[in-house]
């Protein structure tokens, strides 16, 4: 971009059409306020199916800060709209976004790149609702949602997850079923700098109750974050390097976040998934890790906007 940062007009996309709408509204508002505190002109856009008309006809921004989460906003669809309009935008492009949103396909890419991923696979949701398709304990989750929406942990004595066979199930006819990995929940944010991806640190996440579900991620006090995580040095370093390798293998740009499980009994580190548009809420991991390394929330948001480009 040739214009000075303070002269930019930034459209912040938030809300959207997915099950993660409320989280996106919070992320977007936080980012919009951070930009306004730095003197930037901001247009808040609750993104709907008329997005192309809104951006090209009414707003005409210099840059789009994409704070959408989940289907449509994070899966390459909105990225395709922005590519068509030739508006510089943040985070990953069409291919990386679509790939990361599909857990099954992204696991294949990560495995080929030497990153350890869980076993399991895709199963018909009605079959999963009626019987144990793999031996418990295991995790059932949609193949293309984030923020732990629609995720179930099936323990050894539990019945199959009847909810995924319900007519109201809205997350696809196939669901991902993976063996449950005991141990620690870890996360690593990565900033895709021009010189190469830079992992920030490792956070150890402990839910205050249950497992790391939607409420634990976003409710105040829903989880305890320890950063840097207390881990064997070799495991800490492996998580950083694996997150950077995943960022590259998936073709991510801007900020990404890799989520891991570490079985400290078996000394087994497994990457669960890569998020191409990490949350920017008050409880989100990426801005917390950035702050730990000396980058304020405002500085992180500014970096994302200055990193925007088209094509991505």
List active site positions: 20, 147, 218, 257, 259, 273, 275, 279
Q: What are phi and psi of 210, to 5 degrees?
A: 65, -140
3-state secondary structure 185-221: EEEEEEEEECCEEEEEEEEEEEECCCCCCHHHHHCCC
Q: CA-CA distance, 201 to 7, in Å (whole number)? A: 33
3-state secondary structure 245-287: HHHHHHCCCCEEEEEEEEECCCCEEEEEEEECCCCCCCCCHHH
Whats the size of the chain, residue-wise? 312
Q: CA-CA distance, 208 to 139, in Å (whole number)? A: 19
Give start and end residues of each alpha helix (H) in the chain: 21-37, 51-53, 77-85, 94-101, 103-112, 125-130, 214-218, 233-250, 285-292, 297-307
At 43 the three-state DSSP class reads strand
Q: What are phi and psi of 256, to 5 degrees?
A: -130, 170
Query: Is the torsion defined by CA of 103, 153, 233, 286 positive or negative?
Result: positive
């Amino acid at each position: 971009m040739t214009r000075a940062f303070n002269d930019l007009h930034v459209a912040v996309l938030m809300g959207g059409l997915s099950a993660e709408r409320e989280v996106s509204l919070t992320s977007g508002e936080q980012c919009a306020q951070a930009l306004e505190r730095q003197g930037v002109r901001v247009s808040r856009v609750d993104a709907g199916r008329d997005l192309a008309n809104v951006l090209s006809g009414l707003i005409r921004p210099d840059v789009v800060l994409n704070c959408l989460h989940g289907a449509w906003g994070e899966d390459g669809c909105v990225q395709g709209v922005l590519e068509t309009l030739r508006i510089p935008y943040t985070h990953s492009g069409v291919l990386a976004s679509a790939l990361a949103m599909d857990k099954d396909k992204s696991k294949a890419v990560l495995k080929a790149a030497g990153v350890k991923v869980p076993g399991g696979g895709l199963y018909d949701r009605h079959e999963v609702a009626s019987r144990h398709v793999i031996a418990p304990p295991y995790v059932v989750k949609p193949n293309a949602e984030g923020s732990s929406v629609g995720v179930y942990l099936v323990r050894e004595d539990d019945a199959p997850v009847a909810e995924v066979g319900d007519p109201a199930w809205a997350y696809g006819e196939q669901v991902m079923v993976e063996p449950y990995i005991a141990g620690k929940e870890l996360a690593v944010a990565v900033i895709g700098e021009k010189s190469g991806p830079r992992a920030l640190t490792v956070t150890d996440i402990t839910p205050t109750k249950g497992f790391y579900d939607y409420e634990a991620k976003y409710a105040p006090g829903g989880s305890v974050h320890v950063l840097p995580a207390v881990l064997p040095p070799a495991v800490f370093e492996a998580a950083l390097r694996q997150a950077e390798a995943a960022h590259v293998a998936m073709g991510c740009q801007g900020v990404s976040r890799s989520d891991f499980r570490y079985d400290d009994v078996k000394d087994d580190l497994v990457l669960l998934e890569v998020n191409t548009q990490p949350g920017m809420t008050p409880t989100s991991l990426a801005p917390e890790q950035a702050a730990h390394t000396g980058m304020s929330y405002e500085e992180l948001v500014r970096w994302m906007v200055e990193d925007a480009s088209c094509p991505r």
